[in-house]
A and B are shown apart, each in its own frame.
Chain A
Amino acid sequence: MTKPLTLIKCGLLLFVILPFTVFSQTNPEELVNNIGYSVPTSPAFELLPNKPSEVSNMVTPKDILATVPTFVSDGKVKTGIAADIRPFSYLVNASLTDYQAKKNRWKRALWRTVLALGTAPDPTNNNDAFLSTGLRISLVDKGDPRADTAYTEGLARAYARAIDRQGIPPFGMKPEQQKARHKVAMEAADSLRKQFSKVTWNRFRLDAGAAFMARAQNSSYRSDSLKGDRWGGWLAASMPLGKKDKWLGKNAQLNLTGKATTIIQVTDDKSETSRYVAGTRARFFVSPNIALSVEAAQLWSNYSKATTLNETWTHFAAIAEVNIPQLGGWLTLGYGGDTAHRTAADSKFSFSYAVATNRIIKK
């Protein structure tokens, strides 16, 4: 157990020393957000020049009928529209018991699959629109709450017991009364949810994602006006760093990621045509008040029409964050950056620090 007073002393000492040392302008948050170590929630939106602020969820056939027409207006693609759907939710046709059966791993993967569609205006040519579509598949998810029989049954029992404890309601119970009773029961189920996510946050996961973006010339959605612009592919795995009952198994996580983006429609000979990223990250939650993160990634940027411009560089970041209430939040110390490369000749590894209300390293 770390003594809080020692931590506070160390934090204050660092805070006094830090301003006299040479630090980079990059703050630790930028350092850790430089490379994503998971598959994006909606791969389709990663390719768009601007991520949509609002996404319509198409769950029922009625939602689909209401949403699809919003993508077009006067025979043209309407920009700034986004929607997602679980395309196999009706095809899986499984009860929870079927879903939890060992043999049905493909049903589970299909149920978790999300398809997204989004549009955005081309910032360089306002007449054109971008139309992007992508799929995210969670191939393996050992922390899937739905797949855990003991947990789902515990959740159902917690809810039912909480309803039972409130006694028999009037037969013609009013909606407000039902709502109040439901709220009490929901809180009982929520405490179980918190416990579950605390235990399963770093269970093994394997996710894949793919997206394709087309340019709609003059915003027309006719097939002869749609030209492929770029595509992207993502693969990510995360796992505990040790066995379930060991400290590393409970408090540490390893991430592995690979990404590829290829530009189909190259604007000029000196444009980047593809980029590949491979990286790994390890995070350690030492205590509720201390966390560490170490990451390294290799990036390749290719120019197929001018191969002399090709470049490759390494990204590295080591972050430590400590909660110091006397400083009003979290003190984060970082070391890292990118190695120098053609388009960023001045890049180098450096120290950085920040004091923020919210933590950077999150489970």
Chain B
Amino acid sequence: MNDIAIIPVSSLGGSVSVTVAAPKFPQAIGGVIWRYKSDQAPDLKAGMFTTKASEVPLGAPSVVDKKFFLVEGAVLNHGDNPPTPYQIVVSITQGGIVLHTEVPSVNGSGKIGTEDEPFLYRFQLKSV
């Protein structure tokens, strides 16, 4: 598991949020963002995301420092035949400024037909 993005956040900046979206293709997405302690032990649910409610607040820099996060979601199928393309974009923002944007490496892009396509994205926030 070496696909963990480490994202520095300013200790003096505003609160941190994560946005999970599919901006390029009209696909529905949904899932949960989980929070883990600095030793990767399970902590709590940070929030749920859907197509309309794509932003999940993670908290102040002091709260999220050294914490790990897992985005567990799926692109939801509409029975497309032939299949259609999809691409998921995860953005980490602080005080409304985008710090990091990435397409999840685990199934973050591809094609969707008659089965939902799950994706995962792991990251750690470090206050600097």
A residues neighboring B (CB under 8 Å): 41, 55, 57-60, 63, 84-86, 89-90, 92-100, 111, 114, 145-146, 149, 152-153, 155-161, 163-164, 168-173, 178-179, 181-182, 185-186, 189, 193
How many Å lie between the Cα of A73 and that of B34 in the bound state?
A: 52
Q: Is the CB of B76 within 8 A of A152?
A: yes
What are 20 A-B residue pairs whose CB atoms fall within 8 Å in the complex? A60-B110, A84-B82, A95-B25, A96-B26, A99-B26, A111-B84, A146-B26, A153-B28, A155-B30, A156-B29, A156-B30, A156-B52, A156-B76, A160-B73, A163-B32, A164-B48, A178-B72, A186-B74, A186-B115, A186-B116
CB contacts (< 8 Å) of B34 on chain A: these are 168-169, 171
Q: Is the CB of A160 within 8 A of B49?
A: yes
Q: Is the CB of B42 within 8 A of A168?
A: yes
Residue B50 CB within 8 A of the other chain: yes
Of residues 36 to 77 in B, which have CB atoms within 8 Å of A's CB atoms?
Answer: 36, 40, 42-45, 48-52, 68, 70, 72-74, 76
How many Å lie between the Cα of A313 and that of B6 in the bound state?
A: 73
Q: Is the CB of B111 within 8 A of A60?
A: yes
CB contacts (< 8 Å) of A158 on chain B: these are 30
Residue B104 CB within 8 A of the other chain: no
How many Å lie between the Cα of A86 and that of B113 in the bound state?
A: 12
Known: A157-B50, A164-B48. A57 touches B30 (CB 8 A): no
Chain A binding surface SS class: helix
Known: A157-B50, A171-B42. A94 touches B111 (CB 8 A): no
Residue B12 CB within 8 A of the other chain: no
Q: Is the CB of B1 within 8 A of A172?
A: yes
Q: Is the CB of B82 within 8 A of A57?
A: yes
How many Å lie between the Cα of A170 and that of B70 in the bound state?
A: 9
Smallest Cβ-Cβ distance to B109: which chain A residue: A60
Contacting residue for B24 out of A55, A95, A152, CB 8 A: A95
How many Å lie between the Cα of A157 and that of B30 in the bound state?
A: 6
Q: Is the CB of A86 within 8 A of B72?
A: no
How many Å lie between the Cα of A94 and that of B78 in the bound state?
A: 16
Q: How far is the CB of A121 from chain B (nearest CB, A)?
A: 24
B residues neighboring A (CB under 8 Å): 1, 21-32, 34, 36, 40, 42-45, 48-52, 68, 70, 72-74, 76, 78-79, 81-85, 110-111, 113, 115-116, 118, 120, 122
Q: Is the CB of A159 within 8 A of B52?
A: no
How many Å lie between the Cα of A170 and that of B37 in the bound state?
A: 11
Q: Is the CB of B70 within 8 A of A171?
A: yes
Contacting residue for B76 out of A169, A172, A189, CB 8 A: A189
Q: Is the CB of B82 within 8 A of A170?
A: no
In the complex, the 3 A-B pairs of residues with the closest C-beta atoms, listed nearest first: A156-B30, A99-B26, A156-B50
How many Å lie between the Cα of A159 and that of B117 in the bound state?
A: 12
Known: A59-B85, A95-B26. A171 touches B40 (CB 8 A): yes
Contacting residue for A95 out of B22, B31, B82, B120, CB 8 A: B22
CB contacts (< 8 Å) of B115 on chain A: these are 186
Smallest Cβ-Cβ distance to A94: which chain B residue: B26
Q: Is the CB of B27 within 8 A of A96?
A: yes
How many Å lie between the Cα of A310 and that of B38 in the bound state?
A: 83
Smallest Cβ-Cβ distance to A115: which chain B residue: B82
Q: Is the CB of A159 within 8 A of B76?
A: yes
How many Å lie between the Cα of A64 and that of B81 in the bound state?
A: 16
Known: A59-B84, A95-B21. A153 touches B50 (CB 8 A): yes
Q: How far is the CB of B5 from chain A (nearest CB, A)?
A: 13
CB contacts (< 8 Å) of A145 on chain B: these are 78-79
How many Å lie between the Cα of A57 and that of B81 in the bound state?
A: 9
How many Å lie between the Cα of A164 and that of B42 in the bound state?
A: 14
How many Å lie between the Cα of A95 and that of B23 in the bound state?
A: 5
Q: Is the CB of B28 within 8 A of A146?
A: yes
CB contacts (< 8 Å) of B82 on chain A: these are 55, 57-59, 84-86, 114
